[in-house]
Amino acid sequence: MIEILTDFPDNIVAAAAHGVVTKHDYQDTLVPRVELTLKRYPKIRCYYDLGAQFSKMEPGAMWEDFKIGVEHLSRWERVAVVTDVEWIRQAVNVFRFLMPGEVRVFATSEAASAREWITAVPV
């Protein structure tokens, strides 16, 4: 399941993953939020928490994650991924070069720092 987090500025799509994340979670929850935010802002940010309550991501969800990132490639200003799951950390680092914006991976113990970074005004 994907939960949209609401205590972030409007230009940030913030979500937390709980349990098993499916393709339908992306299609029904995350994609509509991304599209709504893209209608309001030329550049957006993403905070994605895959912490202790996250257990796995189905292959269809991985594909949806990749698609949404690529479809709006030039519009991502910053992306913060919070996770201790090693394969996710590695996947983000492998595909980081595709993103024109800044991408950072934070350990779950650094969630507060991730929130500060994603909401910070660029210098």
| 24-34 tens-digit pLDDT | 999 999 999 99
pLDDT at 123: 62
Residue type, 63: W
Residue type, 75: R
Residue-range domain boundaries for the chain? 2-119
The pTM of the full predicted model, rounded to 2 decimals, is 0.93
When pLDDT is averaged across residues 37-48 and rounded to a whole number, the result is: 96
Residue type, 12: I
Identify the sign of the CA torsion 67, 73, 77, 79. positive
- If one counts every other C-beta atom within 10 angstroms of the C-beta of residue 31, the result is 17
Fold entry, domain 2-119:
Transcription Regulator spoIIAA (3.30.750)
Angle between helical axes of 31-40 and 59-71 (0-180°, round to 10): 10
Find where tokens 């030329």 sit. Answer: 42
Span 97-116, pLDDT tens digits: 777 789 999 999 999 999 99
User: Which residues, at least 6 apart from 120, have a Cβ–Cβ distance to it below 8 Å?
Assistant: none
